[in-house]
Structure 1
Amino acid sequence: MSVLTRVVADRSTVLAEIAADAAARELTGTDPHAQVRLLSESGYTALTLDDASGPGAGAPELFEFLIDLARADPIVAHILRAHFWFVEQIRRFPDGSVRDRWVAEIAAGKVFGNATSERTGNAGSLSFQTQLKAVDGGWLLTGAKFYSTGTAFSDYVSVTATVRGGDFDGQVARIVLPVDRAGISIVDDWDGIGQNRTGTGTTTLDNVRVTADDVLAFTDPASTAAIANDGPFLQLYLQALITGILLSVTDDATALLRSRSRTFDHAPADEPRHDPVLLGTVGEIDAAAHVARAAVLDAARTVEEAFAPARSGMIEPDLFVKASVAAARVKVHIDRVGLRAAADLFDVGGASSASRAKNLDRHWRNIRTVTLHNPTSYKAIALGDLLVNDTPLPANGYF
């Protein structure tokens, strides 16, 4: 029996429990620790893990789940972005002690965060100011990371650093450390307009002791492994979040219109629920949400085509490029329609829908924040340049 089969029976119950107070948590700034633990304890954080009896969920199944989870609570879904990326990386490890160690931790419900991005240098660069310095018997890790989404909710943090000294000088190290290791400080200081309480903020590394057992991999930034990166997965993940939010917008738009009794004296219908203008707006929101869902799941199948051979040790760069193109196309489309749909929700409810207590603005704020992870215009330019001039897509984590 696969992991997917084991956990899917409780899916609706788990998602309903997460959704129950999601809007209230966001309004009050409450951290969803209990909801993350619920996913961990019910096996969903191990959804994609290979087990002894067969493969776990592939990218299409995972993204279908992520859309449903984001519909229930996009904050909780966003927290697990780095976690599911880490699980995918472990799936590619050959059989042996390293793989066995991390598989056991994932299966036990441990959650993995990230410390990758930095405030200095260009976003997407594989050069890091955070340094792993070789010392007798191991290394010392020093630096500061930002946008450490999910780390405040995690048991482990995955850190990227440039190696200084020793046999791996100049390479990029991926290090996995328990969050309570001496020298690690995690501050949840993200103050964005949306996607609050995602555990996003600063991770400081002050001469953290690192042993060989903590190092997941050393990578040459110019190697095939670096070029065949997980950008398509990580970027499509964000579009799954927006899609889940759009489905929630549809839910709220439907409930809002059904609940209205007052309308304007000059409205085309006596009751809002029969007003063709408002019904058309709800229909457009619903269409945007479901077309977004279809687009994400179609791109997820393309991502799986690249990931499947990689899990067997065969990197196919052309398949990763295909996946990058698919994910970029989805972003360019969904970012545009998503923001409009979230704004159109207020046309359904009228002036009263702007009440802070209703908290309907959270949808637009959350979508707007997610879209800002990388510029939509740059993605569109890269696609156009590829089509017109055969210019390769940028070889970084945003593609």
Structure 2
Amino acid sequence: MPAQPLHLAHIIRSDAEAIAVATELAKRFAVDASVRDRERRLPVAELDEFSASGLWGITVPKAYGGAEVSYVTVAEVIKLISAADPSLGQIPQNHLGVVDILVQTASEAQKQHYFAKVLQGYRFGNAFSEAKSKTAAAFETRIRFDGDSAQIDGEKFYCTGALFAHIVPTVAVNEENQAFISFIERDNPGLTVIDSWDGFGQRTTASGGVTLNAVKVPLDAVIPAHKAFDQPTADGPISQIIQAAVDTGIAIGALEAAKTYARQARPWIDSQQDHGWQDPFTIAAIGDLEWRVHGAEAILAKAGRAVDLALAEPNEDTVANASLIVAQAKVLSTEIALLASSKLFELAGTRSVLGKHNLDRHWRNARTHTLHDPARWKYHLIGNFLLNGVKPARHAWN
């Protein structure tokens, strides 16, 4: 990967501009999305265009030169891109999460340094999750502080975006099991990014592995990430709303494909119709999917407003409410992404399963991405809060 962006990024100035840029990019990204999936063609050129557009910098605070758009807009941007290509929609998720953690826990000098890089077009990847730890929130990767530097050793997986990143923020814990994030340059000795992702969906996120062998960074490249959850912050809801936006985008893409191919399907013999699009059951099924997609979009926007409130007035109640509404968005987006991508084949008919159409990519992407964290626990989170007044635990999955 290049040590710096090939071109300085455009700086977006408003919410409206962010949505307009995303709309135009999505049109271009949709053209070869199926080919990229089929051939597992990594979207290097597309990512360069994506980050150069300025969309990766839209959450940088205004005080540091960014647009500081609302999370209603962030969710809309990710949804638009994901409807075109959900792999591209997912890749900036951790980048945007890191920007928020910088807001919450970085020093003033660190904020000035890293926000400037983001606005220039630098991409953060991630080396957060581990495949061998006990839970998703447990880390075996270690950070040891020695004078004016730190050393990181460990092994990571599900490192979405790391292969394409200029900087790889890495989570490691100290002897007290406190989590820190180190901002490791992509060409830092001891950092190895492995293109080992072979999942059947989200095939071009390059969500493979990272190994860290005695990686050294200066102290000014380390932030105390654990502080983002010591006090009420919107960091968890921010992470989750982006996941819900990806799934909502997948649902939209699947529904649009269902409309296209249902119009081309043959009518069932008992319908006494001339065209598949006249079939009353097909019409009703499309109508059912449409309102469900719009319902997911509506709760996604409501979740964005709840996140914005939690950012503006961070306290136990606003953060809990943001987690609650975002959990609802996660449930609805998961359900409709899986339903729409499955119904697509029922409505389009047997010919829709032919390999040349590659329509199964919608279901594969939905099934893969909705596994990011279990929706079954979102139902519990919602019910436990509403019935028993139990606030959601604060972590990156709530």
Q: TM-score, normalised by structure 1?
A: 0.90
Alignment check: 8 A CA contact 2:345 2:352 kept = yes
- Give the equivalent residue in structure 2 for 1:303: 307
Residue 250 in 1 paired to residue 232 in 2?
no
Alignment check: 8 A CA contact 2:105 2:228 kept = no
Per-residue deviation, residues 306-325 of structure 1 (Å, max 9, x unmatched): 1224xxxxx42221111111
- Give the equivalent residue in structure 2 for 1:57: 69
Residue 131 in 1 paired to residue 142 in 2?
yes
- Give the equivalent residue in structure 2 for 1:267: 271
- Give the equivalent residue in structure 2 for 1:364: 363
Q: Indicate the RMSD between aligned Cα atoms, in angstroms.
A: 2.2
- Give the equivalent residue in structure 1 for 2:293: 289
Alignment check: 8 A CA contact 2:251 2:340 kept = yes
Q: Say which is worse superposed, 40-49 or 141-150, in terms of deviation.
A: 40-49
Distance across 2 between alignment mates of 1:235 and 1:120 = 23
Residue 100 in 1 paired to residue 112 in 2?
yes
Alignment check: 8 A CA contact 1:72 1:248 kept = yes
Distance across 2 between alignment mates of 1:244 and 1:222 = 29
- The aligned amino acid for 2:191 is I
Percent identity of the aligned residues?
Answer: 28
- Give the equivalent residue in structure 2 for 1:212: 219
Alignment check: 8 A CA contact 1:63 1:240 kept = yes
- 1:298 Cα offset (Å): 0.9
Q: Say which is worse superposed, 84-93 or 240-249, in terms of deviation.
A: 84-93
Equivalenced residue count is: 386
Distance across 1 between alignment mates of 2:136 and 2:106 = 27
SS at match of 2:215: strand
Alignment check: 8 A CA contact 2:251 2:333 kept = no
Change in 2 beyond 3 A, CA 1:269/1:6: closer
- The aligned amino acid for 2:126 is N
Distance across 2 between alignment mates of 1:382 and 1:228 = 18
- Give the equivalent residue in structure 1 for 2:126: 114
Residue 88 in 1 paired to residue 88 in 2?
no
Alignment check: 8 A CA contact 1:60 1:301 kept = yes
Per-residue deviation, residues 124-166 of structure 1 (Å, max 9, x unmatched): 43x42111112344221101111111111111111111124xx
Residue 228 in 1 paired to residue 233 in 2?
yes
- 1:295 Cα offset (Å): 1.2
- Give the equivalent residue in structure 1 for 2:344: 345
Change in 2 beyond 3 A, CA 1:160/1:28: same
Distance across 1 between alignment mates of 2:203 and 2:369 = 11
Distance across 2 between alignment mates of 1:83 and 1:221 = 16
Alignment check: 8 A CA contact 1:60 1:297 kept = yes
Residue 194 in 1 paired to residue 197 in 2?
no
- Give the equivalent residue in structure 2 for 1:45: 56
SS at match of 1:113: coil
